[in-house]
C-alpha cells in the first residue's frame, strides 16, 4: 500500500504502510521536516503496517531529534509494536 502524508496544524498524519518499500522515503521526508521546523509530530493512527524497516526509520528520526534536542512526538493507538519498541529501547539504554 502506498504511503500518504497529510499536514494539519503542524501534525503530520501518515496513512498506509511504513515498510521496506516506503521506509527510506518516509525517513528522508520527515528528517527534512524535522530540520526545517525544529520539532515533529507524526500521527500513525491510520498506518496499516509497520515492519522492521519502518520501525528502524522511526527510531532514526527519534534518535536524530534527541541528539539535536528537538521535540519529537508520535500519536496514535494503532501501532502498539512501535510503542513497545521505544519503551524497550529506553529501558535498555
Domain ranges of the chain: 4-92
pLDDT in tens, 40-60: 999 999 998 888 999 999 999
**pLDDT tens digits, 72-92:** 998 887 556 666 766 655 544
CA atoms within 13 A on the CB side of 45: 8
CATH number, span 4-92: 3.30.750.24
Q: Are 37 and 6 in contact (CB under 8 A)?
A: no
**Backbone phi, then psi, for 32, in 5-degree steps?**
-65, -40
User: pTM of the entire structure?
Assistant: 0.84
What percent of the chain has a predicted confidence (pLDDT) above 90? 69
Q: Rounded mean pLDDT of 16-39?
A: 95
Cell numbers placing 90: 529506553
pLDDT reported for residue 91: 46
- 8 bridge partner residues: 11
Amino acid at each position: 500500500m502506498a504511503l500518504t502524508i497529510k499536514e494539519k496544524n503542524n501534525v503530520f498524519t501518515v496513512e498506509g504502510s511504513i515498510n521496506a518499500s516506503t521506509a527510506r522515503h518516509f525517513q528522508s521526508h520527515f528528517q527534512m521536516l524535522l530540520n526545517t521546523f525544529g520539532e515533529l509530530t507524526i500521527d500513525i493512527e491510520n498506518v496499516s503496517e509497520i515492519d522492521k524497516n519502518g520501525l528502524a526509520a522511526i527510531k532514526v528520526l527519534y534518535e536524530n531529534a534527541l541528539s539535536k534536542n528537538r521535540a519529537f512526538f508520535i500519536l496514535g493507538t494503532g501501532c502498539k509494536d512501535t510503542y513497545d519498541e521505544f519503551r524497550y529501547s529506553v529501558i535498555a539504554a
